[in-house]
Amino acid sequence: MKTRQTQALLGCVALTAVAALAGCGSDIENKDTAAGASDCGTVDMAVNPWVGYESNAHVVGRVAETEFGCTINYVDLDEQTSWKGFGTGDVDVVIENWGHPELVKKYVEGDGTAQLAGQTGIQGIIGWYVPPWMAEEYPDITDWRNLNKYADLFETPESDGKGQLLDGDPGYVTYDEALVKNLDLDYKVVVGGSEAALIEAFRSAEENKTPLLAYFYEPQWLFNELDLVKVELPKYTPSCYQDPQEIDCDYPPYDLNKVVAADFAESASPAHDLVANFQWTAEDQNTVSKMISEQGMDPDEAADAWIADNSDKVDSWLS
């Protein structure tokens, strides 16, 4: 009996305390239902793991949210997983695609779960780069013909007595082993294994003035911090890419494009036209990427800032 009385007493005290707390702030009120109503619905936007991609994704996303009332669901995925997501219904949009002929073949030409949705206006460049201090100290290093002359500079414990060519991100296609062989370069390809590994290698090479030759690509936010210099390889020709074993010229430039799920393209969502019309420049993208990676801004805020300064471009996507 005694227990029950105490329990009741404690309960009363607790309830009084709760009532007191409940009275001391503002109530939660529901949002205005009218503002959220739209015919756009939810768009599943893949976010592939590089900052330039995030810039595309959030600029398009913010425009879709403010203009059409879409709900954008950002899905953090690698390239290959994103493309598989077109078929499973988990992904609607890939907003910056680097070529990937094998995926185009399988999902656009093959089972038809994906469709190409035009170019982004940016050209992707893949190649071999050296840190800025090396280009200054050895001006002729940027010509591939001189690479053998400097091979011993690039020797590391990993490279078997040859020069080290550091390869990187497992997500990108590389023909570096064929290039080294066919151009008779006295180098060994050593895998770095991730974009983070390449970035740290460049940062510390510049900071400590140590030699480094590595596979890299533009646009990339690191160029805001370091002016990496590209080594000129023999000029790209389509004929040199006939046989992957015989490649002996530079990587082709990639016209970056957009890919959407077939279902999404047929849905008549206003967001689909926006995605198809979206086009900007490497400079535009870099402005947003810099805000995200260097200033640590939230991607949506960075996108809003760019949109506010570039209403003419945004308008051209909406027409």
**Interaction with another protein in 24-43: which residues (CB under 8 A)?**
24-33, 36
- Work out the burial of residue 21: count CB atoms within 10 Å of its CB; fewer than 13 is exposed, 13-18 middle, 19 or more buried: exposed
If binding is defined by CB under 8 A, does position 109 make contact with another protein? no
Q: Among residues 80, 237, 242, 316, which is the contact residue for another protein, using CB under 8 A?
A: 80
Residues within window 271-300 making contact with another protein, judged by CB under 8 A:
292-293, 296
User: Which stretches does DSSP call E strand in 55-105?
Assistant: 71-76, 93-97
If binding is defined by CB under 8 A, does position 22 make contact with another protein? yes
Q: Tell me how far, at minimum, the Cβ of 23 lies from another protein, in Å.
A: 9
| Angstrom distance (rounded) from CA 214 to CA 130 | 7
Question: What DSSP element (H or E) covers 318?
Answer: helix 311-318
Token pair of 30 as six digits: 């529901």
- When the beta carbons of 260 and 314 are compared against another protein, the nearer one is 260
If binding is defined by CB under 8 A, does position 218 make contact with another protein? no
Residues within window 222-261 making contact with another protein, judged by CB under 8 A:
222, 244
Q: Which stretch binds another protein (CB under 8 A): 118-126, 199-207, 227-235, 253-261?
A: 199-207
If binding is defined by CB under 8 A, does position 200 make contact with another protein? yes
Q: Tell me how far, at minimum, the Cβ of 139 lies from another protein, in Å.
A: 25
- When the beta carbons of 212 and 314 are compared against another protein, the nearer one is 212
- When the beta carbons of 190 and 229 are compared against another protein, the nearer one is 190
Q: Tell me how far, at minimum, the Cβ of 255 lies from another protein, in Å.
A: 20
| Angstrom distance (rounded) from CA 164 to CA 156 | 6
Q: How wide is the angle at C-alpha 197 spanned by C-alphas 285 and 288, nearest 5°?
A: 15
- When the beta carbons of 27 and 312 are compared against another protein, the nearer one is 27
How does 258-286 read in b/e, with b if 16+ C-beta sit within 10 Å? bbbbbebbebebbbbebbbebebebebbb
Please work out the total of residues on this chain that contact another protein, with binding judged by CB under 8 A.
Answer: 82
Helix (H, G, I), strand (E, B) or coil at 270: helix
149-155's contacts with Cβ under 8 Å and 24+ in sequence apart are 150/211, 151/185, 151/186, 151/187, 153/211, 154/187, 154/211, 154/212, 154/213
| Angstrom distance (rounded) from CA 186 to CA 154 | 10
Q: Among residues 40, 70, 72, 91, which is the contact residue for another protein, using CB under 8 A?
A: 91
Q: For residue 191, how many C-alpha atoms fall within 13 Å in the half-sphere facing its CB? A: 10
Residues within window 40-79 making contact with another protein, judged by CB under 8 A:
49-51, 54, 75-79
Q: Tell me how far, at minimum, the Cβ of 147 lies from another protein, in Å.
A: 19
- When the beta carbons of 171 and 276 are compared against another protein, the nearer one is 171
Q: Among residues 43, 94, 95, 103, which is the contact residue for another protein, using CB under 8 A?
A: 103
Within 10 angstroms of residue 23's Cβ, the number of other Cβ atoms is 7
- When the beta carbons of 17 and 318 are compared against another protein, the nearer one is 17
Residues in the chain: 319
Residues within window 165-194 making contact with another protein, judged by CB under 8 A:
166-167, 169-171, 173-174, 177, 189-194
Q: Which stretch binds another protein (CB under 8 A): 96-104, 130-138, 144-152, 269-277?
A: 96-104
Q: Tell me how far, at minimum, the Cβ of 21 lies from another protein, in Å.
A: 5
If binding is defined by CB under 8 A, does position 84 make contact with another protein? yes
| Angstrom distance (rounded) from CA 258 to CA 270 | 16
Token pair of 102 as six digits: 């094998």
